[in-house]
Amino acid sequence: MRKLMNRSVLGVVFGALLVVRGLPAKDVSLDDKVRHELNMLPYYGVFDAIAYEVNGNEVTLSGAVHYPVLAADAVNVVKGIPGVTSVSNQIEVLPLSRFDDQIRLAAWKTVYSWPTMSRVASMPLPPVRILVKNGDITLVGSVPTQADKDALNIRVNEIPNVFSVKNELVVSKS
């Protein structure tokens, strides 16, 4: 009886494997593949923002990054995606500066100490990106409400030694 039961279980398992194996794989668009590969970059963080556009089999990368190697890594991973024939690199590498690093840290503390944002501060891909270039801050990404967008703009404008703040945050529709 026990042998018969074991054989039945094995039969069901092998049958299920054959059925699953015979199913077509979920079709993933090139856009989804590019997004996935960029989000998996190991040093892609809150101080970087990479945008992309897929046009057929050609991908254009844009945005700005804090570490120079990140721009090269982004191009290399996208080039390695099956189906991509060319990659145009328009990613700006932000200048390395201790002055800007101090502003980055102050801006991060300011943005992610705001109650709405503190809940998402430890996410692998934080929703608000902070780009600092020569004392100027650009905020990109998304926030839950217009009030959050306005409050973050006011708070970031109060950071010492910041020349200007450009708020490109969008209000998420969720």
For 21-62, write each residue's pLDDT tens digit.
443 445 578 999 999 999 999 999 999 999 999 999 999 999
pLDDT average, residue stretch 98-123:
87
Domain(s) labelled CATH 3.30.1340 in the chain stretch across: 30-93, 98-171
124 pLDDT higher than 80 = no
CB atoms within 10 A of CB 131: 24
pLDDT at 13: 39
Fold designation for 98-171 = Histidine-containing Protein; Chain: A; (3.30.1340)
CATH architecture of 30-93: 2-Layer Sandwich (3.30)
Coarse DSSP helix, strand, coil percentages of the chain, rounded to the nearest 5 percent: 45, 25, 30
- Does the structure show a pLDDT above 80 at 106? yes
Residue 151 burial (CB count, 10 A): 16
- Please check whether residue 156 is in contact with residue 141, taking contact to mean a CB–CB distance below 8 angstroms: no
Q: Residue 7: what pLDDT?
A: 44
**H helices present in the chain, as ranges:** 2-22, 30-39, 68-79, 98-112, 115-118, 146-157
Determine the 3-state secondary structure of 117 from DSSP.
Answer: helix
